[in-house]
Structure 1
């Protein structure tokens, strides 16, 4: 399975991925392709999308932790790598303090 979030996709790439993906929400694409085709699709996206595309790709794999995250360009979320485990950063301590100045963060 592949889940793709994009800020923008070139028309040629959008047309090509429509072969394998469903677009449940604008610029959110979901596909249930087999593992053998999955890496080819990810390679196609990383090769043909520009940095302004701002893509995050979640790909399921057969080895723990059973997913891999790829990014290209400027995205709204940051990916953190902790001991080989890729995680999506929702809030940093500085952002949490700015959003709720009265709360204590330990």
Structure 2
């Protein structure tokens, strides 16, 4: 499975993504493509999306931890890696 979340994709890339992915909301794409196809899609996005696109890609893996997170450009939330586990940093808001 591959999930792609973007702030803004170039129109040609977004149109191509719509061919194989479900787009439940603008610039959020989900597909159950095979691992080899997911790698090709990620390579395509890295090649054709400028850093301003703010893309986060979540790809399922058959081995632990079960997923991989890749990004293009700056994202709203920071990613960290702890003991080989990729995590999205959430900040707590105080009242």
| Common topology (TM > 0.5) | yes
* Structure of larger gyration radius: 1
Paired residues for 1:64-103 under 5 Å: 64-91=64-91, 96=92, 99-100=93-94
State the TM-score, normalized to the length of structure 1: 0.84
Corresponding residue number in structure 2 for 1:48: 48
After superposition, the CA RMSD in angstroms is 1.1
How many residues were matched structurally?
95
**Greater RCO, CA 8 A, separation 6+:** 2
Runs of 4 or more consecutive aligned structure 1 residues displaced over 2 Å after TM superposition? none
State the TM-score, normalized to the length of structure 2: 0.93
Q: Tell me, which stretches of 5 or more residues in structure 1 are unaligned?
A: 102-106
